[in-house]
């Protein structure tokens, strides 16, 4: 189940990458690269007590889902 602080990284129509809370209408931050957006999302999640970060690829399909500590990851494997 998604928590309010969970975030999604996706590409915008102009080619930039956005870091957006799942319950928000607007992006929290916009970056030139996907890696920069992911790092910003990780930092925000750490500051908010952890959660899930979902990354979408250029095609809009889900690419990765990571638990950011101190979140609760039900799986033992990384990824």
Tell me the pLDDT tens digit for each residue of 41-73. Answer: 999 999 988 999 999 999 999 999 999 887 555
Amino acid 69: pLDDT: 83
How many distinct structural domains can be found in the chain?
A: 1
Indicate whether 44 belongs to any domain.
yes
Q: Which pLDDT band, with edges at 50, 70 and 90, does 78 fall under?
A: low
Question: Does the reported pTM lie above 0.85?
Answer: no
Indicate whether 79 belongs to any domain.
no
Distance CA 54, CA 46 (A): 15
Indicate whether 42 belongs to any domain.
yes
pLDDT per residue as tens digits for the range 26-44: 999 999 999 999 999 999 9
Rg (CA), the chain: 12
Indicate whether 2 belongs to any domain.
no
Q: Is the dihedral of CA 38, 71, 67, 3 positive or negative?
A: negative
Residues 9/55, Cβ–Cβ less than 8 Å: yes
Indicate whether 57 belongs to any domain.
yes
Indicate whether 74 belongs to any domain.
no
Indicate whether 13 belongs to any domain.
yes
- The parent domain of residue 14 ranges over 7-68
Indicate whether 24 belongs to any domain.
yes
């Amino acid at each position: 189940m998604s928590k309010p602080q969970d975030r999604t990284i996706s590409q915008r129509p102009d080619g930039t990458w956005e870091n957006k809370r799942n319950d928000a209408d607007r992006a929290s931050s916009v970056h030139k690269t996907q890696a920069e957006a992911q790092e910003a999302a990780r930092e925000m999640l750490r500051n908010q007590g952890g959660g899930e970060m979902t990354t979408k690829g250029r095609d809009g399909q889900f690419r990765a889902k990571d638990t950011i500590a101190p979140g609760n990851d039900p799986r033992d494997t990384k990824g």
